[in-house]
Every structure is written in structure tokens, then in C-alpha cells.
Chains A and B, each alone.
Chain A
Amino acid sequence: MSDDHVYMTLAEGHDDSDARWAFGTGFEDPLHGVDTTVPAGVDREDLAALCLALGDDALVSAQRLAEWTTRAPELEEEVALANIGLDLLGQARLLYARCGQADGTGRGEDAYAYFRDPDDFRNVRLAELPNGDFAFSVVRLLVLSSWRLAHFERLTRDPDPVLAAVAAKGVKELAYHRQWAAEWAVRLGDGTEESRRRTQAALGQVAPYLGELFSAFDVRDEVVAVLGQVTEAAGLSMPAWQPLPGRGREGRHTEHLAPLLAELQSVARAHPGATW
């Protein structure tokens, strides 16, 4: 789909110095104008699966972060959560576009985001759990951003140049996300008795989902070290964990993913192809 002319019309409707833009649906291919050749020697199926999984982690996380809008404890933190979600949504769009090129279907981002069912999603289950309280959302973001940052840092050396470029951009963003979550975790852990109790409880709630994060990628030591650094500074303790059976990467999800997707997908499915 090429809708460049739509935006050109908007820009042309004004005098040169007075051009303004309108945001709407019908965003074009986020990889427009990028060389999208898959290099020889890169396994297309593996590349597509990796982009899909990382895209799903980002999309589902972005949806949960967006749920904080109008509900965060302070306006500044609401803006922070929305900004982090927007970065992740941007990463998801780029990864879905790359997935469609790698798997040979040429599907666009909407096909992946709106027209797949829960069993087809490959995000880790930690991303889909309900937001809980602010402490849980902070701890979950700390874990997911530390893990994604470590993984993306390695992907900057991926043989696929598009994935490597998406990762290099993402590393800068994820470092800000992890910093925000780490500072809040320390503030809450080192805060009142109540904030400390809730943050320690949140660590216990995310712990069973850690095993799933570490099973596929060689980033365990790095992430565990970061979590140790934060919990020590916060006066908290990292609980021992037993990994839960099943993996989101294999399409096995909690009961929480389906309602999240139902909300995310309802408009696109009720009005397929609609634009505004």
C-alpha cells in the first residue's frame, strides 16, 4: 500500500511556509525506502520467526503500557509510560515489516498486529500479564527492558542488516526504558514500608516467568547481574524461582492475552481496511 500521495496532498494544500500535517491511519510501510533484500546465507525462516517474536513482545508490551494512560500516579510518569510504549510500538512496526519480507508472504504490519489469533502470537507471557499495581508494572518493565536491551545489543551484529539497524536504534531507546524502571524500582524499594512490600511482592510475581526469558537467548548472566544490581540498591531480594511450564514463544499463553488482543484488534476486525 502506498499512500504517500495522501500526505503530499495535505502538505500541498498550504503555502510553502505554512505546511502542517495530520496524523491518521493508513501509515505506509515503516521500511519504505530501505533496501529490504535478505542477504544470502541468512535463513529466512529463522529471521522471520525472530522478528515476529520480538515484534509481538513489543506490541503486547506497548498495549499494556498504554493502559496506564489516565491511570498513572503522576502525570509525568504517565507521559513516561506512554513514551516507552510508543518506542516499543515503533520497534514492533519495523520488526513486523521485516518479518513479512523474510517469510516471503509480503504481509504488512496490520496483518500481524490485527489479524492473528492469540495462539499465533509468540510474545513471552510476562509481557501479557495484567498491569497490576504501579510496582508490578515497574518491576515487569525492569525485567523486560533489561532482557530486551541485552538481546538487542547482540543483534546489532546480526548478519541481517535491517534487523541489525533496528536493533542499533532500539538499544538507545531501551537504555532509557531500563533506566526509568531501575530508578523507580530503587525509589519504591527504598521508599515507604508499603512501597517496599509491594515491590518485593512484584519480584515474586515476575520470578516464575524469568525461566522463559532465558531459555532461548544467551543473555541470562547479564540480565541477572542487572537485576541483582537494582535489587541490592533498592534493599530488595531476588527470590529463587521455578520456571513455569510452557512457553509464549511456542504459542502457549496465559488467559490474559486473548482479552488484550480482543481490545487491540476489535476496530480493525469490525472495519477491515478502513482508514480515517
Chain B
Amino acid sequence: MVTASSASIASTALTASTASAASTESTPSTVSAAFTDAGRARQIASTVPDPELPMLTLADLGVLRDVEVGADGTVVATLTPTYSGCPAMAEMRAAVAARLSDAGYARVEIRTLLDPPWTTDWISPEGRRKLAEHGIAPPGPAPRPAPGPVPLVLSPTRREVACPLCGSADTEETSRFGATSCKALWRCRACREPFEYVKEI
């Protein structure tokens, strides 16, 4: 569970407009019910797919940081955006809110946690498996530069990226930027196929 930092406290409550969906659901009224309800809410929020990598859920990607249910039944889901320019952030928030309200939660609040910034290290083992299954090479460990000026390395850096299609390690980068912010373009010299690679950040 992520501890809310000073930058995470929500200022805006988003009250779902589709409370009618709650009619078939029972509203938790006891403390123990509320406790198990947090697990259920988390499970529901965890099923929302990422708009740009739809084979992954927001939980697989590490974008969904936390889901809690307050004493008054309000579900609070916390998201961390991947890249500053990610155009899908608004859609992610709305999708998580919609999925929870469809599941019967009348009050849903979405918080954005900017700090600590998202890292590919948060992609779950399940997420990495799904990426590889879909022909996208999963990221290696993200660099953790020491505090202070970020050094520029100009010598060729050897990264081992196995081809997700044939498994060969004989691969090369064609571009560090791809169709989405989070991916680089690579090709395999063994099977000759191009593939995408989720670059470490």
C-alpha cells in the first residue's frame, strides 16, 4: 500500500452519476463488511485495462497505486500517470470511476499521486508476462541515478533485450521512441522481426 504524500490529498470528489446501478448491490453497513469491501473495490478497479496497452490492466502497469473504502462508503482510488504527456490520464480516471460506480459504489473519488513518479519497476510480473505474450519486450530494471546532476553517457550501452518472438538475444535498437511514450523500437537480427520494447524509466 502506498502512503499518501503531501501531494496526494484529494481536493475534488467525483460523485458517480450512475447510482442507480447500485440497486442490485447491497451497501456495506458494518465495519467488517467495509473491510472486505476494500478488497472487492480493489479487485474491481484492478480490472480496468490501460488505453494504450489494453492487454494490461492499470494494476498490472502499476498506475493504480491504491484503492481504499472510507467509513462512509466512499471509494478512493489513487493513480500515478506514466509520462507527463500521457493523453490517456483523463480516460483512465474516468474508466476507474465508471467501473466502480457500475459495481455499485455510489461515491467514488479519484486521486492523482505525482510523487514518487511512475517507474517501469512497478509493472507486475503478470504484466511483464502479458507484454511478452503480445510481442512486446518487457523492461529491465530502471536506472536509479544518484542524487545530483544526471550524468550523460555517450559510450554505447549494451542492453540485453531478448526478442519476444523467437527469444534470441541478438537484437538491436532502431529508435528509442515508438508509437507511445513508453515504448522503443527494436529489431531481432535472428528472426528479422521488428518488435516494441517498454523502455526503462
Give me the interface of A with B, judged by CB distance under 8 Å.
2, 4-8, 10-12, 16, 19-21, 23, 27-28, 30-36, 76-77, 79-80, 82-84, 86-91, 93-94, 146, 149-150, 153, 161-162, 164-166, 168-173, 175-176, 178-180, 182-183, 186, 222, 226, 229-230, 233
Contacts and interface: CB of A to CB of B under 8 A. Distances in A.
A23 B87 CA distance: 8
Nearest to B49: A19
A158 to B, nearest CB: 11
Most chain A C-beta atoms within 10 Å of own C-beta, residue among B5, B99, B177: B177
Interface string B78-113: 010101111111110111011101100000011111
Contacts of B11: 33-36
A230 B154 contact: yes
A35 B86 contact: no
Contacts of A171: 150
B154 A80 contact: no
B74 interface: no
Given A149-B150, A165-B114, A166-B114, A180 B90 contact: no
Contacts of B9: 35
B7 A32 contact: no
A229 B84 CA distance: 28
B189 to A, nearest CB: 17
Contacts of B47: 16
Given A5-B17, A80-B175, 6 more contacts: A21-B51, A27-B90, A33-B110, A34-B112, A86-B83, A182-B152
24 contacts: A4-B14, A4-B90, A5-B17, A7-B93, A10-B94, A19-B98, A31-B112, A32-B90, A32-B112, A33-B110, A33-B111, A34-B7, A34-B113, A35-B9, A36-B11, A83-B181, A86-B87, A91-B85, A150-B149, A168-B117, A169-B117, A171-B150, A176-B201, A233-B154
A12 B18 CA distance: 10
Interface string B1-40: 0000111111110101110000000000000000000000
Contact of A172 (B12, B14, B113, B117): B117
A182 B154 contact: yes
A35 B114 CA distance: 10
Interface of B: 5-12, 14, 16-18, 47, 49, 51, 79, 81, 83-91, 93-95, 97-99, 101-102, 109-118, 148-150, 152, 154, 174-179, 181, 185, 199, 201
B154 A11 contact: no
Contact of B98 (A2, A8, A31, A183): A8
B44 to A, nearest CB: 10
Given A11-B98, A30-B89, A161-B6, A77 B175 contact: yes
A33 B83 contact: no
A20 B101 CA distance: 17
Contacts of A33: 10-12, 79, 93, 109-112
Contacts of A10: 91, 94
Contacts, number: 171
Contacts of A93: 84
Contacts of B16: 8
A25 B88 CA distance: 12
Nearest to A22: B91
A4 B6 contact: no
A183 B116 CA distance: 29
A19 B49 CA distance: 9
A164 B111 CA distance: 18
Contact of B95 (A21, A77, A186): A21
Contact of A179 (B95, B110, B152): B152
Contacts of B14: 4
Contacts of B179: 79
A87 B89 contact: no
CB-based closest 7 A-B pairs: A90-B85, A90-B84, A7-B94, A165-B114, A76-B175, A165-B115, A35-B9
